[in-house]
Amino acid sequence: MSMPRPEYPRPILRRERWLNLNGQWDFAADPDDVGVSEGWQNRDEWPSTIIVPFAPNTSASGCTVDPDVQRVWYHRAFSNPNWRGEEVILNIGACDFVTTVFVNDHIVGSHTGGYSPISVNVTAALTDGENHLTIKVKDSGSWQQPRGKQAGDTRWPIDYDAIIGIWQTVWLEPVKATHIEGLNYAFSMAENNLALTINLSDSFDGEVQVSVAKSQMPSNVQALDSSNVSPEEYFESQVSQQRSEIKTSIHIPTPSLWSPDSPQLYDVTIVLLSNEGTVIDTVSSYTGLREVRVSDGKLCLNGAAIYLRGVLDQGYFPEGWYTPVDDEAMVRDIQLTKQLGFNLVRKHQKAEDPRYLYWADQLGLMVWSEMPSGRIFSNNLVESLTSEWTALVRRDQAHPCVICWVPFNESWGVWHQSSRPQQRAFVDAIYHLTKTLDQTRPVVANDGWEYSSGDLWTLHLYDSASKDLNHRLNNIQRNPYTTVSDDANSRVATLPGADPSGLPILLTECGGVGFTTEQQQDEHFSYGAWPVNEEALLARIEDLGRGLSNLDALQGFVWTQLTDVQQEINGLLYFDRQPKLPVAQLERIFSAIGEKSGD
């Protein structure tokens, strides 16, 4: 069997030498929590195997466990790559939820969080020849932890089968004690200036060299004629004195800007040199020169107002759930999204694989990046969400495709903001924390309703007819403190004391039209009654499309949703990515919405 997911897993910060540890691992479920007391970190025989990086119970993993199991163990042997004189870092792209790492029976590190990356220095535990890596993972069904759409103790109609364990690539990488850990870029159109922030593992006294050159586009990117690529290269050198965060900038006199229609990228190489001229670290990266900001009540990309035609994407795949089986699956989803007439994807309740963001950068799809929610407010949720959100913003902020941060969705986990100041303060605090980490993008503190702070005013409205949609949005505009819906669980659009006036208005959930050719069953879910056939489905989508076009105040929308997922049948595509209606028909509807906005 060929190695699954063989590509380098962190494309925004690449090194030449690395060792992919994906593939077949030993595996054991631990339903009775006896693994630690029985010393499973040094056991010789294992009851089953699993294909990493796919979660158990996915078809790609080749492994099944009881869905209620909350502890699992992994093991594999590997040969010491003998990177002499360097430290060896074990990286795990993501593992859900509490991860403990053993090398040769020794605990070398732990991590809490199901979405953020894991890096553990394993140098001291390595021996010559064969080494043994064991990973213990503990999850729970508790909604005090950020879980997104993973079913927990109770399952909503919009929840899906839960993930446990490793679900992104595992790899080893050699580094010096001082090395580059993270990057961020910020481009100024007014000055044609690319600012870089380089985060290091330790204070550094030496020279940093940065080179930037226009990229050749991949052969499958059709939006840009690669014959226009110039050999221009820009270079900056800077001396650092005992700093672990280095800021520098490069002037680019005639920049080619990144946009969905022209996703031009620039290759970046960063080299750390000692005072004696010895190379300490070299990484390859890339960036897109683009500027996202709110100006005069308009959401602007590269200085011009842009209308967002977005689609909600849960990021579940048929074979691997959270994990696509290969890059082609991610490219297919991005290409289908664009072919359907959308220029933006709202990744919903999932922090997406960095490889997906890489292809969105390459292919020109804007991404709305959202933190998976918990649903029970507690000190545990405050601590875990804050820590993981910080790590995810740092991980993804260098990707030009990411145009907005969304730490909360529909008040999940902060249900009582209107009556409990502590919860409202938490939402506001995370908004300001995100702005502290990244000034280059708008932040939506709480998407959907109960606006308290944020750079955009976003609303969620599901209706079966365009006239109802128009009526409700007009009412909300006249009175921002009105309820978003009339049911018993209605939420106000804006919390008392907050003022969204003057902000861009977006309808970031709408549609939700369900349809399936299967026998309709009680467990199927959609918003509203299901159309009885394809003709009725098309008529419903066309009607809502006309309604969105007539909402002059809107600067964008997000349609629910790209694909069906398990019991939820709201997709424009079935779960296997087959379209429910001809793609050309859907593209005609969605690409026309917002045309008069002049984007």
The closest alpha carbon to 62, from 71, 76, 72, 52, belongs to 52
pLDDT at residue number 598: 47
Contact (CB, 8 A) for 134 and 102: yes
Report mean pLDDT in 10-residue bins for the chain, 599 residues: 92 98 98 96 96 98 96 98 94 98 97 98 97 97 94 79 96 97 97 96 93 76 43 80 91 96 97 94 98 96 98 97 98 98 98 98 98 97 98 98 98 95 98 97 97 97 82 89 74 95 96 86 82 94 93 94 95 97 98 75
Query: What residues does 174 pair with on adjacent strands?
Result: 88
CB atoms within 10 A of CB 228: 11
Q: Which residues pair with 50 in a beta bridge?
A: 25
Secondary element (H or E) of residue 506: strand 505-511
In order of 127, 313, 525, the CA distances from 509 in angstroms are 53, 11, 16
DSSP string spanning 5-46? S-S-S-TTSB-S--EE--EEEEEEE-TTS-TTTTTGGG-S--
CA dist., res. 305 & res. 309, Å (int): 13
CATH 2.60.40.10 fits 180-292, yes or no: yes
pLDDT of residue 225: 38
Closest to 541 measured CA to CA, from 491, 593, 497: 593
Phi and psi at 451, nearest 5°, equal: -60, 130
Cβ(237)–Cβ(307) below 8 Å: no
312-597: CATH number: 3.20.20.80
Query: Would you list the DSSP string of 221-280?
Result: --SS-GGG----EEEEEEEEEEEEEEEEEEE-SS---B-SSSB--EEEEEEEEETTS-EE
Amino acid at 104: N
For the domain 19-175, what is the CATH superfamily, name and number? Galactose-binding domain-like (2.60.120.260)
Whether the CB-CB separation of 93 and 111 falls below 8 Å is answered with: no
| Torsion 322-326-330-332 (CA) sign | negative
Closest C-alpha to 90, from 54, 117, 129: 117
The burial class, CB within 10 Å (0-12 / 13-18 / 19+), for 299 is: buried
DSSP H or E segment with residue 470: helix 466-478
Residue 33 pairs with which residues in a beta bridge? Answer: none
CB-based contacts of 44: which residues, under 8 Å, 6+ apart?
A: none
Predicted model pTM: 0.95
pLDDT score for 252: 95
Q: ∠180-405-410 over CA atoms, to 5°? A: 140
Query: Which residue ranges make up each domain of the chain?
Result: 19-175, 180-292, 312-597
Q: Cβ(314)–Cβ(293) under 8 Å? A: no
Q: Tokens representing 18?
A: 């690395």
Q: Strand locations in 292-375, DSSP E?
A: 292-295, 298-301, 304-305, 308-313, 344-347, 366-370
Whether the bond between 567 and the residue before it is cis, its omega within 30 degrees of 0, is no
Looking at residue 156, its amino acid is W
Task: State the DSSP string of 92-144.
Answer: ES-EESEEEEEETTEEEEEEE-SSS-EEEE-GGG--SSEEEEEEEEE----TT
Cα separation, 184 vs 13, in Å, equals 10
Answer yes or no: are the C-beta atoms of 268 and 210 closer than 8 Å.
yes
Q: Using an 8 Å Cβ cutoff, are 255 and 196 in contact? A: no
Assess whether the region 19-175 and the region 312-597 belong to the same CATH fold: no
Structure tokens at 372: 């998976």
pLDDT at position 152 is 66
197: CB partners within 8 A, 6+ apart: 183, 184, 185, 186, 245, 246, 247
> Residue 420 region, left (φ>0) first, then alpha (ψ -120 to 50), else beta?
beta
CA-to-CA separations, 354 to 17, 245, 369, in angstroms, rounded: 19, 23, 12
